[in-house]
Structure 1
Amino acid sequence: MIRLEGITKHYDTGSRRVTALSGIDLAVAKGEIFGVIGHSGAGKSTLLRSINLLERPTSGRVIVDGTDLTALGTKQLQEQRRKIGMIFQHFNLLSSATVEDNIAFPLKLAKTPKADIRRKVSELLELTGLTEHRFKYPSQLSGGQKQRVGIARALAADPQVLLCDEATSALDPQTTNSILSLLLDINERFGLTIVLITHEMHVIRSICDRVAVIHEGTLVEQGRVVDVFLKPQHPVTLEFVEQVSDPVELPPAADLAARLLKITFLGERTYEPILSKAVQATGVTFSILQGTISKLKQVPYGQLVVKLEGDGAAIERTIETLRADGLDVEVA
């Protein structure tokens, strides 16, 4: 659906050249929610705005739904941009226009018939939970309501892609969760491809299918959220993971007669008594030293640090049994 090939962006400031992006290669599949996370100044906003060419790359290609946007003229690019909606951190609403008129604005620019505008606006008001706020002005709305107006406006032209530029960073945690739930509902209901940037791992963990980590203009890690979250490979990724979880780590093995394991469960198997069955079959005993259960998007996962005690051969059979059941087992 979206493919970035060798995207590089330089800014010339006087005699100095600043590189915001360096050789970015990225692919986003149709219908997925793709997150880009990085610290302030890492280049994530530049990367997001490169997708609709609000920031034109110094070099590289941006291909959306089979069309190379970097090869288009001004008029053709404007037509393609109608397929790409965008929501912003600070809402960017028209302060002198009502909620209804803010949502209708892109439809009026496209010279959509009035009857179609009324119908579409009513649908979007209902979708975003704003029907009772139809005739209010932005100054009369909460931050979450303003962002819902921004989402409705971005959806007005029935885009294929929705770009989210730090869409929840100005909101409190409860409101953030409600906006994330709305984005997830929109994605599932319409199959809309969503690309979002954030500096909050909670956002990535809550709704994204895949994630890319950007650092100093370079993608340092990318993959399924499950894989990146549970086994971060880059120090920056580890920093973000630690925002939302207590690290589950193996302590030093002090007792030579025991083995310490870190076991990772994924999916519905998180709730199954796999460990209990394994030790019953082998006759070893276990103690839970540390543990957590949570969710990545809608996928449950759990991590346990346990101490196994018993016959050495029986402990080895227990470890083999757990791994044969598809669990990730790290041994101290």
Structure 2
Amino acid sequence: MIALQNITKTYRSRGQTVDAVRDITLHVEKGEIFGIIGHSGAGKSTLIRCINLLERPTSGSVTVGGTELTKLGGKELQRQRRKIGMIFQHFNLLSSASVRDNIAFPLRLAGMKKTAINARVDELLSLVGLEEHGNKYPAQLSGGQKQRVGIARALAADPEVLLCDEATSALDPQTTNAILSLLMDINEKLGLTIVLITHEMQVIRSICDRVAVMDGGRIVEMDTVLNVFLRPSHPVTRQFVNELADPSGAVPVARRAGGKLVRLHFVGEQTYEPVLFEALKGTGVQCAILEGTVARMKHTPYGQLIVELSGNGPDIESVIDSLRRSGLDAEVIG
């Protein structure tokens, strides 16, 4: 659906050149939710704006739905852009227009007839749960409601792709979860391809299928969300994953001499099975649970435990081997 090939975006300022994005190649499959994460200044906003050519790459090609956008200009580029919706961190609504008029705005630009516009706006208000708010103005809405208007407006022209530029960064956690649930629902109902950028790993974990991690204008790691969580390879990725597991950054310390700290990852239905109990049974090894979380990666249950195993050294190794044979990712961390 989306193919970026060797994309570089260079800015020139005061006689200096800065590569905001450097030689990036990636492919996004039709119908997937693809996340791009990075710290401020990593280049993720520039990259997502290259997809619809709001930022034209200095070099490289952008292809969406089989059409190479970087070869287009003028009216043809404008026509192809209608297939790409976009929502923004700060909503970008018309403050003097009602909710209905904000949603209808791109349809009026496209020359759609009034009766068709009204029907489409009604449909979109229902989709985003704002049926009772059509005649209100942005100043009368909460942040979450404003973002729902932004989503409805982005969907007005029935796009094939939805780009989300830090769409939840200005929202509180509860509202963020509601907007993410809405985006996942839209993805599943409409088969829409979604690309989102964020600096929050919780957003990636909640709804994305795959993720690219950016640092210094480059993609430093890219894989399924599950693999990135289980086996992060780049220091920036490990930082994001560790911050989500424990925002304080504190690492538990073994309390007993000879004890081993082990981080266990549970995936799927195994999250709810007594795998640890079965591995310990009859071994004489004692287990203390120091930390634990259970969450979901999109639709997949996922759990993490940090445990201290104490007892006879060979018996501890036997327990760890048993856990790994059962399919758990068991990492000795101390």
Global fold match (TM > 0.5): yes
Q: CA deviation at 1:132?
A: 0.9
2:263–2:304 CA contact under 8 A, matched in 1: yes
Query: Which 5+ residue runs of structure 2 have no aligned equivalent?
Result: none
**Two-structure CA RMSD over aligned residues (Å):** 2.0
Whether contact under 8 Å (2:34, 2:209) holds in the other structure is yes
Q: State the identity %.
A: 64
Q: Secondary structure at the match of 1:180?
A: helix
Match in the other structure for 2:264: 263
SS at match of 2:159: coil
The letter of the residue matching 2:274 is P
Structure 1 unmatched ranges of 5 or more: none
Deviations 1:273-297 (A, max 9, x none): 0111122264544332333222222
Tell me if the contact between 1:33 and 1:209 (Cα under 8 Å) persists in the aligned partners: yes
Provide the rounded CA distance (Å) in 2 between the counterparts of 1:13 and 1:205.
37
| Structure 1 residue matching 2:281: 3-state secondary structure | helix
Shift, 1:235, TM fit: 2.4
- TM-score in terms of structure 2 length: 0.92
Q: 1:321: which partner in 2? A: 322
Verify: 1:205 aligned to 2:209, yes or no: no
User: Aligned-pair distance for 1:90?
Assistant: 1.4
Equivalent in the alignment of 2:97: 97
CA contact (8 A) 1:250 1:262 kept: no
Residues of 1 paired with 2:162 and 2:252: CA distance?
Answer: 41
1:26-45 per-position Cα deviation (integer Å, ceiling 9, x unaligned): 11111111111112222111
Moved over 6 A (4+): none
C-alpha deviation, 1:55, in angstroms: 0.3
The number of residue pairs the alignment matches comes to 331
Change (3 A) 1:223 1:286: same
Which residue matches 1:307?
A: 308
In the TM superposition, what whole-angstrom CA distance separates every residue of 1:210-250 from its partner, at most 9, and x where no partner exists? 11111121111121112222332222223322443216857
Which position in structure 2 is the counterpart of 1:42?
42
Partners in 2 of 1:270 and 1:301 — Cα distance?
Answer: 6
Query: How far apart, in 1, do the equivalents of 2:28 and 2:200 lie?
Result: 20
Give the distance between the partners of 1:234 and 1:131, measured in 2 at CA.
45
Worse-matched range after superposition: 68-77 or 188-197: 68-77
What's the counterpart of residue 27 of structure 2?
27
**How much has 1:19 moved relative to structure 2?**
1.1
- Secondary structure of 1:203's counterpart equals helix
Which shifted more, 173-182 or 48-57? 173-182
Q: Counterparts in 2 of 1:34-73, with a 5 A limit?
A: 34-73=34-73
TM-score (norm. length: structure 1): 0.93
User: CA offset at residue 156 of structure 1?
Assistant: 0.7
Distance in 1 (alpha carbons) for counterparts of 2:289 and 2:244:
22
* 1:228-247 superposed matches below 5 A: 228-246=228-246
Q: CA deviation at 1:317?
A: 3.4
Query: How far apart are residue 259 of structure 1 and its match?
Result: 4.3
